[in-house]
Structure 1
């Protein structure tokens, strides 16, 4: 199972729409307390702003989520920001869009487009990572098979995390769950079923995406 969330600790982008400035801040927040603290810090930094609208989603199951219009017409700011997070399948993320009113009203539709657009730009600027479930595997084999084995691994997404050399060669690998059947089969073929494979408990790793 893969989920996406923010890569960098924080990021900000700024846009101007009909003379109103929209400054968007985005951060990875692993708890609701962290989300609230991040929002409070932006509000403190921009006390003179017209609005500091926000939204966050906490936990992979999105059990905790909140949107705040901060004085904008109901449903025109916080919810559009939240919808961007949902659309991008993000979690443990908080977005705050600070607005300095420029004197021209945008209307409900204009506000929705402005806040959702600002949030989307911040997500794009910050970048994302994918959480991937992998099986740590320790493989021990004779030296005879190492060259072919490493050549095979080089053409896959399997990561070699460590290699140790004694009377045999021991590899510590991270193999995606979906690749395990292929890995077991190829390992037997390459080593003529003479290697030892130890599969450990599933863990999650992170991979950056553009």
Structure 2
């Protein structure tokens, strides 16, 4: 199924799919608990702060920021009671200025909340900016990331008994596999390719070689696919 996408970007970096990622720092007796979540839309991003307010109900602040979309057009932040500009904006800048490779700042579809337990020592405006920025940056140093690419999907119908072997051979050949489908008579393997006629032609030739010409690729449009870094 072809998925329409009006963005100009064809790739960006995001958090690997899975559970929320947590990291904690103590700065001058205050606890800063950073939680990162992969967030493809604003509802998912905002729900992170809501959930953490319930979990850490006795914390003084639950500051947040998120950036969403392949072109990173949606960017929001919230100081949640900290002095204006000392929490949410530094957190957002830590996301949007993060280099995912030398000279590349393309992190998106990610939300972050920093829960602060006040330790009794005032940090001042500059200290708060550094603390919130450092909390997010330290978490990003450890978090698993993937590249999300808009790729051309092609499918091949494979007898169930042969699907596992063929999938392994395609992976070993360097192809990125998308979601597998299952029908009563066959398994549907999907290959994610660069949206380039030459690349697609080469994939057809490789499949023909692996299956003695018995199977063929059919186009299925484009889709965003996670590619390991």
The answer for the alignment partner of 1:52 in structure 2 is 62
Where does structure 1 lack aligned partners over 5 or more consecutive residues? 141-149, 163-170
The question of whether the paired residues in 1 share the 8 Å contact of 2:192 and 2:225 is answered with no
The 1:186–1:198 alpha-carbon spacing in structure 2 relative to 1, beyond 3 Å, is closer
Aligned pair partner of 1:32 in 42, 45, 60 = 42
Conservation of the 8 A alpha-carbon contact between 1:6 and 1:123: no
Structure 1 distance, partners of 2:221, 2:20, is: 32
Given that 1:10 and 1:126 are in contact with CA atoms closer than 8 Å, whether structure 2 keeps it comes out as no
Q: Which residue of 1 aligns with 2:184?
A: none
Q: Secondary structure at the match of 1:24?
A: strand
TM-score normalised by length of structure 2: 0.68
Gap runs ≥5 in structure 2: 1-9, 99-105, 158-167, 182-187
Question: Which moved further from structure 2: 119-128 or 35-44?
Answer: 119-128
Aligned residues: 198
- Other-structure match for 2:161: none
Moved over 3 A (4+): 137-140, 150-162, 185-192, 194-200
Larger-Rg structure: 1
1:96-146, CA deviations, whole angstroms, 9 ceiling, x for partnerless residues?
101112222222222212111111222333312221222233579xxxxxx
Cα deviation, 1:35-61, whole Å, max 9, x if unaligned, reads: 222211212222222221111123333
Q: Which residue of 1 aligns with 2:162?
A: none
> By percentage of residues, which structure has more strand?
1
Give the counterpart of 2:147 among 120, 124, 130.
130
The two structures, once aligned, show a CA RMSD in angstroms of 3.6
Q: For residues 41 and 158 of structure 1, do their structure 2 counterparts lie closer, same or farther at Cα, with a shift above 3 Å needed? A: closer
The answer to whether residue 127 in structure 2 is matched with residue 110 in structure 1 is yes
Q: How far is 1:152 from its partner?
A: 9.6
Asked whether the 8 Å contact 2:204–2:216 carries over to 1, the reply is no
Distance 1:203 1:172 in 2: 15
